[in-house]
Structure 1
Amino acid sequence: MIFFGLGIFTVIGQNITVSGKVIDVNGQPIPGATIIVKGTSTGAVTNFDGVYNIKTNGSSTIVVSYIGFETIEIPVNNKQTINVQLKEDISLLDEVVVIGYGTQKRSDVTGAVTRANLDAFKEAPNANVVQSLQGTVPGLNIGQVTSAGSTPSIEIRGQVTLGGSKDVLIILDGIQYNGSLSSINSNDIESIDVLKDVSSTAVYGAQAANGVILITTKGGKRNQKAKVNMTSSYTTLEPTVDLRPMERGEYIDYLNRQLYEFEFTEESGYTVPNPAYEGYFGNNSGANFNPKLESLDNPGTFNNNDYDWWDQGTQGGFIQENLLSVSGASESISYLVSLGLTEQEGFVKNDNFSRRSMRVNLDADATDWWKIGIQTFGSFVKKDGDQPDLYQLVIAAPLFTPYDENGNLVATPSGSLDTNPFLGSNTQDYERHDYFFANMYSEMQLPFIKGLSYRLNFGNNYRVDKAYGASIYGAGETGDAGKEVKFYRDYTLDNILKYNRVFGKHDVSATLLYGALERQFELTNAYASGFDRLSLGYNDLGVGSIPKISSEAYTETLNYQMARVNYKFDNRYILTGTIRRDGFSAFAENEKTAYFPSGALGWIVSNESFLENADWINSLKARVSYGISGNQTKRYSSLARIGTRASYVFGDGSSTAFGQELNSLANPDLRWEKTKGLNVGVDFSMLSNRIRGSVDTYRNITDDLLFAVRIPYLTGFDEIQTNVGTIKNTGIEISITGDIIRTEDFTWTTTANFSRNKNVILALTGEDADGDGEEDDLIQSNLFIGKSINAIFDYENDGIVQIGEENVVGGFNPGEYKVVDQNGDGEITQADDRTFLGTKDPDFRASLLNTFKYKNLSFSFFFNTIQGGDDSYIAKNDNALYRDANTLHRNVLSGIDYWSPQNPNGLNALSSSRPGITPGRYENRSFVRLQDVNLRYSFNKSVLESLSIEDLSIFVSAKNLATWTKWRGWDPEVQDPSKNLYGSGLSAGGRPVLKGLSVGINLTF
């Protein structure tokens, strides 16, 4: 009633009508602009011609606003006509991005630098911050995760090396971070900037060959009162696809299907049932294939068993997060203190992840010319618990149970070589990872030269990893236990001298750097087996009868110098030049250091006079860059290394003596791998900033590739680390954001990303052993000149041999895959009948983010896709079954389409024999995924102010809700090149990608 009465009073007080027109700086009308009488709810919106009418009193003030323009307040002063000209909000152009050893306005950036959109995904159910970057930055490829707390694969602009480091460089608050990204509380992060081209990464030299991710954490804002923020959320997790092993009935049918030569008559082509066959358990026809069943007097006793191994080894997962931060600032000190607790349980039992983190960021002005600060955090990760073996969970037959009549685990329930999947989970397991990070800095404005400053950074990473375990089933059920402790530490010391001055139309800045980095690592492992008792587990290793102790350590050092100059003339022409010198202890005596130069040009075209009347262009900048970056070799790879092993026995019955021998050849001329990169790009904003984006195209040529080349073993060695070959890496990246609708109450914004990357091997060893005038491929290493690094060179599948099919080239039997005879000689040989089937690389990646906001309600959804063709983005997804005494009884995932005489069109081979050559079966991995959905409601601030609450919002978010793909199996996107895994198919041991549904609350005082 009070508010109603005040509304009536306001209406009564209105005594004039104000009208006018709202235009932009070019005189064009702005439809949809909002005019509000300050301090009231009275408002109006301009029409298509930019005209408005509003009733108010003569002493009031009107507030005029429109998205993309600066908001202004105008006193009425009894005027009845007020025309308004709005200026464009250039905050997007003036946004400061991190570029390495400093910051720069986006409008001045000449390299390919992209800031990730963290706000759109800050409430997504992710335990690792880089999961929020998946598909959001063109050129940045983030993989999927399938276990709790794990870090996905990270790649920027494809692969540019063979044997060099493939790791993306992570810079946290200006310091290299070599810990796991799972240790970082995502709520502490202010921004993430991605450096992609050689020019922008050149400041980090040889460590930035694979791109750089710059992570900046939050701090207090100057003159900000203390602010307390609390966030709490809970997420349920389950697999994106419902796959599980066969249950009893289907499993028995599967057993009989494997024994089709018993179940059906031979003369009918195994299509007519054999009346003498009574089923697998009826007359024990298959007993000779299964020693466990053959030894039993009554195989029918298994008829009562239908044990669900999969259900007992899996669970519904969850993520629970509780985050608290306090930030604030006075005129001279700003601070942020945060605490975080993240708990996650994955789909597999004992797949646990717990992170407790604490951060303190502090910046202080010691004087008006001296600033000091520290960014530091500690993170404590717990991953206790051994998971049941997923492969064994799938293949365990439902006819057996894991326990005997006394409730004890049976090591081999089926009597074969396959072990009980729960042996691994019924153990003592202690796994902890403690991370400590600190960056302390001192920055002074030097008095003798205006614009000159000096900054000293000292950063430290320290990590302790502990893995303890004990199992009564280990070492052939004699029991084993062990303790492994790792210590890692590094320091970074950077001396940075900066100069910034503006002389009329000339804007000059320079950065000089001298720094050093040292890494140290040590490991101690104590292990024992053969325990009479294991009551104290890993805390009493001396009880074990067979001890084994090992240890290792290393130290490696780097030093570097860098100079960068930025010059801008008349706010139109920009020049950036950088040179860096790197030294690394791992390189050979003659090649310890290398130089990496780069240069870039920028042209702000929109500031030229010939575009001053182009009203539809708000900003347009063209840029081109060229430079050289390097890559580091592995430590000791240039040296002749010595190993120790059992080598001699002196006399009969004497003990074995240990000897030392060379394990590798030295290469005193091992050089730095170098990548020459060209990038051409354009940044644009148009139509009153309603459409904005960037386009980049690039070409990288990598020479002197670091690679272990195979050599004849008669030398005593099988390979040597050396420099060989050349790779070309090209691509295009497009990002466009458009405000489809933008009014005061409702906005609809869309961001579309597209990227394409291709690589090709231009040269390898340069040798021509066969004298055909062409350089030889490295077939054993799967490297071919003119092909992609990820080319697939294999036998071509020609379907499955059918019953009665004769004269099959290669002599394959019914149920086995046929191989295409590539040279038509009537034989199948390894040397002549393999061919190029395609590549593991995709054709392109794309994503689409839509965000809708209506008053206090916001809704967004994000699609991500990776696409290939018939011969691109393919991977082996073959589940061929070659029956023997061990494989016959093994279970498989339900729904695998096996061949049989009754199912001649089955996809997967099924045979009682294993051929010498198996071509496999490849499938396309293309997919479209509804990756993120978010719904948020923010309560009205006018209501919250009375409760002393600054902000209150509740949200519901979802992850991986739906995936559209022709790939058969767990997920097409999952890959791990170190394990030659590309796509998680229907094979036993595959892990599912999880979809999550989250609810949460965000509260700020």
Structure 2
Amino acid sequence: MFCCWIADLQAQQAVTGTITDANGLPIPYVNVVEQGTNNGAISDIDGRYEISIEDVENASLLFSSVGFKKQTIPLNGRNEIDIVMQDDVAALDEVVVVGYGTQQRSDLTGAVASANLEAFKESPNTNIVQSLQGTVPGLNIGQVTSAGATPSISIRGNNTLSGNTNVLIVLDGIQYNGSLSSINPNDIESIDILKDASSTAVYGAQAANGVILITTKSGKRDQKPRITITSSYATQRPSEGIRPAGRAEFIENIRRLSYNEIFTAPEFTTPDPSWPGFFQPGNGIGLIPQFEDPNNPGEFSPIDYDWYDAGTQTGFIQENQISVSGGSDRVSYLLSLGLTEQEGFILNDNFSRKSIRVNVNADATDWWKVGVQTFGSFTNQDGAEPSLYDLFIQPPILSPFDENGELIPSPTGTVRLNPFLSSNIDNYERHDFFFANIFSEIDVPFVEGLSYRINFGNNYRIDKNYQSSIYAAGENGQAYKNIGFYKDFTLDNILTYKRSFGKHNIEATALYGAIERKAEGTNARAEVFDRLTLGYDNLSLGGNQFTGSYANTERLNYQMLRLNYKFDNRYILTGTVRRDGFSGFADNEKTAYFPSGGASWIISNESFLDQSNVINNLKLRVSYGVSGNQTGRYTSLARLITRAAYVFGDGGNPSFGQELSSLANPNLRWERTKGLNIGLDFGLFENRLSGSIDVYNNITEDLLYAVRVPYLTGFDQIQTNLGRIDNNGVEVSLSGDIIRTTDFTWSATANFSLNRNKIVELTGKDEDGDGVEDDLIQDGLFIGRPQGEIYTYEVNGIYQIGEENILDGYLPGHYRVVDQNGDGSIEQMDDRVFIGNTSPNFRASLLNTFTYKNLSLNVFLNSIQGGNGWYMGANDNALYRDANSLRNNIISGVSYWSPTNPDGLNAMSYQTPEGPNGTRYEDRSFVRLQDVSLRYSFNKDLLDKLAIADLSVFVSGKNLATWTDWKGWDPETGQGLTLGGRPVLKGYSLGINLSF
């Protein structure tokens, strides 16, 4: 055996070489395979490779890499082969998911964007959409302030008044109605975003707010089993240093609020020698007895308890992932397991996710494919937080515990409860998610290019929320069990035909599908327990018991036809029509049609640009389409409510009964959004600079809206169609390959988006007879103005001591509310003006990627900008002394007006104004260093010796710095100087990626 082994070694010969691109730069990670065998190697960072070959005379090597054409080179006895790989334009033209199929990006006529997940895969994000924040123009992702939470998602502005505002999520081809927090981000292969009405029209009535298509990972054919392990740990702390005042500042605030008592008039800057002190009779202030030191009468309690510190902690995210993938020539598979543990900054803000995924694809025959994408996710959110508001306002000179270490229900002796009453409880909250998509695809025999695919998708969810508290129900004890079940199924039949005839390419897709959704649940609650030892596990021990239940079902049915035509790889046409039916709409309007069309011209493929050294890719796109928005399941019907409705006898007690609350509307229609999109895609200077520009205009009509009706009719409202909203905007994305040398590269991607929204029509009513349609002022809706308009009282500084012409009802320290009509008083109808708008002026971001040998650095800046009245938010922390102001704590370091601080930012007076208080607004503009990651990949020579396929370590940071003039909590949350606001978290992570 030893002799045979020696002979085999002598027969093996090393073949080496260097792989470069057309510019002479080395290409790393190229697959080098001995053709017809599993013998292979991968080029290193310098483009060098080495592979052992038994028969160098007859063997051939296959070189392949993403973005380059495959090359097969016969050895013919050679031991050194250097090759130059050519760009593969077709490979660079990535395949994107477009709904019920895929297309090459060059064939798109609509606005479809692909997310860059690679640059953010090492960021400490427990939710996949956190990795999309600011990365795609037109896709707006909000901030996260709770463990495991899903941020807000919107695409291209708000198209509705009261209709559905949710973006449609499609997971592996199936509509997904579960929480995105249930999906393991490590399982995601790609995310594509459909933004214009032409591309979203394939989803018809559910796509008015855009579509996000998520595709999960799968194994690769002809690949031996590959085990990948990822582990990381991240810390989390607030990005803002906001805290409640300590003892000394709290007492100083009491003095400030009491300036009219302890200082002499009229300036109130000189101490009043006759003032008897805070705890003496007759001082007029009325501090609660608990504030006084029992061992030192007349003085404040010596306690300095940090309530906020006791209710918070250093948070963390710990993630561990393992996957096994591979395949044969007919089967590919992926199995992944994930465990994510997160503890937020607030006590008991916990999130835990265990997930398992199995994806299998197989060729049963040469013409029949089958597969399944399935996962289970089990989230644990046990525990209840202390009240954040109460953590802030509880006086630091009081303790939450008595001398026996028990919680004091109300430390101040008022209705203000101890914040730890809500966290010192038994809470059980679990959510179990199950998802499966089973498909079968047949290439129809005897009809070239025709295939039939059937998808059966199923979502199932179990929600459990149990809780017991000895402090609830007036400290009589309360316990409850709430359990809910949700399930849906999707059945899609998809027929696809693809053929090429010379210069003509045709693709047709026909769809017939149905969706059914069901939900049910039971709620049980008991109160007044003699003892709560068994908690929520025996509700029968409660003296008062209550039960409730619910159930609902809704169904959708739809058909779609899409035709794509391409001529000579230059001119492309796309047409789509979809018919939707939904059980929730009125009897006369159950179905609707949603057509769309698009065209594109690949200008760079014209003969007059064949020899251009500047323009490598240039495509013009124009599309127009109609998408819809569906109402809630029962809104077209007359609905019943239960309330105190009847009185029997003169002076009798009211009795509860059922009555109609809304009128039925048998003609309630679907909202319709008509969208025009014009786009330009380009690649310049050998594609060193590439990007896209999109301009769009969306018009939404037949808006779903609940119109109020006088209650004397016996009804509150009726759901109807009215009005029109226009959205238009610009989106720009630019990517540059700035520097590319042997050891160092620098690339950058910049994004910009702008959206303008305007209400064009509302009810059409002109009740005052002036010929102008009336605004809905009570709902903040104004004809000719955007949604989010701030219509309120203008504030111009703060009234000062000694100031003349102070309006009646106001005092020094109150905001100076502007008398717009000059009549000497502030009136609701005549003195309100348009202050600004809550919507951003524009959004922008910049991603820089640097590589130096084995090091890779990503730096991502994200920004939302206002200016000129845009992106405004109320940011007021005024203090007006009442029965609670002297008891409540404040935010530390906030600037308040006082006689000794006339330039203070926030109003402060010992008396609430008799007129409107007024509110101070600020610009929320910011620039954020949102993501930074640094990765080191170990050399392949070392890894080969250790029998490791890949090994890298990384460090990353999240929300490391925010530059803004906004005061208080993070500007993106809009909380400002809010008591009990939730912080945006910043953190640092350390992790490892390992593959065998």
Question: Normalising to structure 1: TM-score of the pair?
Answer: 0.91
Deviation of 1:302 (Å):
4.5
Residue from 969, 972, 986 that aligns with 2:977: 986
What code does the residue aligned with 1:153 have?
Answer: S
Deviation of 1:710 (Å):
2.1
State which drifts further: 866-875 or 717-726: 717-726
- Cα distance between partner residues in 2 of 1:657 and 1:78: 99
The aligned counterpart of 2:335 is: 337
- Cα distance between partner residues in 2 of 1:93 and 1:143: 32
| CA deviation vs aligned residue, 1:819-866 (integer Å, no higher than 9, x gap) | 111222222110111110110011100000000111211011000000
Structure 2 counterpart SS, 1:972: coil
- Distance of aligned partners of 1:483 and 1:61 in 2 relative to their CA distance in 1, 3 Å threshold: closer
What code does the residue aligned with 1:562 have?
Answer: M
The aligned counterpart of 1:560 is: 558
- Distance of aligned partners of 1:991 and 1:690 in 2 relative to their CA distance in 1, 3 Å threshold: same
Contact 2:61 2:72 in 1 (8 A): yes
The aligned counterpart of 1:50 is: none
Question: Normalising to structure 2: TM-score of the pair?
Answer: 0.92
| CA deviation vs aligned residue, 1:536-567 (integer Å, no higher than 9, x gap) | 11111112122111111110111000000000
Structure 1 counterpart SS, 2:457: strand
Contact 2:292 2:298 in 1 (8 A): no
What code does the residue aligned with 1:165 have?
Answer: N
Structure 2 counterpart SS, 1:249: helix
The aligned counterpart of 1:838 is: 836
Give the alignment of 1:284-295 within 5 angstroms: 285=283, 287-290=285-288, 292-293=290-291
What code does the residue aligned with 1:681 have?
Answer: G
Deviation of 1:717 (Å):
2.7
- Distance of aligned partners of 1:63 and 1:744 in 2 relative to their CA distance in 1, 3 Å threshold: farther
| CA deviation vs aligned residue, 1:776-810 (integer Å, no higher than 9, x gap) | 11111110011011111111012111112232234
Structure 2 counterpart SS, 1:714: helix
Structure 1 counterpart SS, 2:861: strand
- Distance of aligned partners of 1:68 and 1:99 in 2 relative to their CA distance in 1, 3 Å threshold: closer
Give the alignment of 1:231-270 within 5 angstroms: 231-267=230-266, 269-270=267-268
| CA deviation vs aligned residue, 1:409-441 (integer Å, no higher than 9, x gap) | 111101122110000001110000000001011
The aligned counterpart of 1:897 is: 895
The aligned counterpart of 2:909 is: 911
Deviation of 1:289 (Å):
4.4
Question: 1:995 and 2:981 equivalent?
Answer: no
| CA deviation vs aligned residue, 1:336-376 (integer Å, no higher than 9, x gap) | 11100000000000000000001111111111111111111
Deviation of 1:652 (Å):
10
Contact 2:293 2:301 in 1 (8 A): no
Contact 1:36 1:62 in 2 (8 A): no
Contact 2:400 2:407 in 1 (8 A): yes
Structure 1 counterpart SS, 2:509: strand
- Cα distance between partner residues in 1 of 2:136 and 2:212: 11
Contact 2:278 2:287 in 1 (8 A): no
- Cα distance between partner residues in 2 of 1:807 and 1:515: 71
- Cα distance between partner residues in 1 of 2:782 and 2:44: 72
Structure 2 counterpart SS, 1:845: strand
Deviation of 1:619 (Å):
1.0
- Cα distance between partner residues in 2 of 1:439 and 1:60: 43
- Cα distance between partner residues in 1 of 2:682 and 2:249: 60
- Distance of aligned partners of 1:284 and 1:827 in 2 relative to their CA distance in 1, 3 Å threshold: closer
- Distance of aligned partners of 1:693 and 1:284 in 2 relative to their CA distance in 1, 3 Å threshold: farther
- Cα distance between partner residues in 1 of 2:91 and 2:967: 44
Structure 1 counterpart SS, 2:662: coil
Residue from 815, 818, 821 that aligns with 2:819: 821
User: 5+ residue gaps in structure 2?
Assistant: 1-16, 33-40, 48-57
Structure 2 counterpart SS, 1:561: strand
The aligned counterpart of 1:852 is: 850
Structure 2 counterpart SS, 1:973: coil
- Distance of aligned partners of 1:789 and 1:678 in 2 relative to their CA distance in 1, 3 Å threshold: same
- Distance of aligned partners of 1:43 and 1:149 in 2 relative to their CA distance in 1, 3 Å threshold: closer
| CA deviation vs aligned residue, 1:752-782 (integer Å, no higher than 9, x gap) | 0000011000111111111111111111111
What code does the residue aligned with 1:506 have?
Answer: H
The aligned counterpart of 2:99 is: 100
The aligned counterpart of 1:15 is: none
Contact 1:289 1:884 in 2 (8 A): no
- Cα distance between partner residues in 1 of 2:343 and 2:556: 40
State which drifts further: 288-297 or 520-529: 288-297
| CA deviation vs aligned residue, 1:309-356 (integer Å, no higher than 9, x gap) | 011000000000010101111111111111000000000000000000
State which drifts further: 150-159 or 82-91: 82-91
Contact 1:416 1:886 in 2 (8 A): no
- Distance of aligned partners of 1:881 and 1:534 in 2 relative to their CA distance in 1, 3 Å threshold: same
Deviation of 1:985 (Å):
1.3
- Cα distance between partner residues in 2 of 1:672 and 1:71: 51
Contact 2:556 2:581 in 1 (8 A): yes
- Distance of aligned partners of 1:579 and 1:942 in 2 relative to their CA distance in 1, 3 Å threshold: same
The aligned counterpart of 1:468 is: 466
- Distance of aligned partners of 1:121 and 1:717 in 2 relative to their CA distance in 1, 3 Å threshold: same
- Cα distance between partner residues in 2 of 1:404 and 1:515: 64
- Cα distance between partner residues in 2 of 1:306 and 1:576: 70
Aligned length: 964
Give the alignment of 1:955-974 within 5 angstroms: 955-974=954-973
- Cα distance between partner residues in 1 of 2:563 and 2:715: 48
- Cα distance between partner residues in 1 of 2:779 and 2:607: 57
Contact 2:291 2:398 in 1 (8 A): no
Structure 1 counterpart SS, 2:805: coil
Contact 1:627 1:677 in 2 (8 A): yes
Deviation of 1:644 (Å):
2.8
The aligned counterpart of 2:568 is: 570
Deviation of 1:744 (Å):
3.2
The aligned counterpart of 1:121 is: 120
Question: 1:546 and 2:544 equivalent?
Answer: yes
What code does the residue aligned with 1:449 have?
Answer: V
Deviation of 1:88 (Å):
3.0
Identity fraction in percent: 63
- Distance of aligned partners of 1:42 and 1:458 in 2 relative to their CA distance in 1, 3 Å threshold: closer
| CA deviation vs aligned residue, 1:266-311 (integer Å, no higher than 9, x gap) | 13x1122223347545888465243655898965574321111011
What code does the residue aligned with 1:271 have?
Answer: T
The aligned counterpart of 2:183 is: 184
The aligned counterpart of 2:681 is: 683
Deviation of 1:817 (Å):
1.1
- Distance of aligned partners of 1:748 and 1:676 in 2 relative to their CA distance in 1, 3 Å threshold: same
- Distance of aligned partners of 1:44 and 1:392 in 2 relative to their CA distance in 1, 3 Å threshold: closer
The aligned counterpart of 1:204 is: 203
What code does the residue aligned with 2:183 have?
Answer: I
- Cα distance between partner residues in 1 of 2:345 and 2:854: 36
Question: 1:808 and 2:806 equivalent?
Answer: yes
The aligned counterpart of 1:799 is: 797
State which drifts further: 271-280 or 624-633: 271-280
| CA deviation vs aligned residue, 1:524-544 (integer Å, no higher than 9, x gap) | 110111111111111111121
What code does the residue aligned with 1:715 have?
Answer: T
State which drifts further: 82-91 or 152-161: 82-91
| CA deviation vs aligned residue, 1:543-601 (integer Å, no higher than 9, x gap) | 21221111111101110000000000000000000000001111111111000000000
Question: 1:382 and 2:380 equivalent?
Answer: yes
Structure 2 counterpart SS, 1:164: coil
- Cα distance between partner residues in 2 of 1:153 and 1:647: 39
The aligned counterpart of 1:9 is: none
The aligned counterpart of 1:927 is: 926
The alignment's C-alpha RMSD in Å is 3.1
- Distance of aligned partners of 1:306 and 1:282 in 2 relative to their CA distance in 1, 3 Å threshold: farther
- Cα distance between partner residues in 2 of 1:43 and 1:546: 72
- Cα distance between partner residues in 2 of 1:257 and 1:86: 76
- Distance of aligned partners of 1:72 and 1:810 in 2 relative to their CA distance in 1, 3 Å threshold: farther
The aligned counterpart of 2:396 is: 398
- Distance of aligned partners of 1:653 and 1:827 in 2 relative to their CA distance in 1, 3 Å threshold: closer
The aligned counterpart of 1:218 is: 217
- Cα distance between partner residues in 1 of 2:888 and 2:708: 39
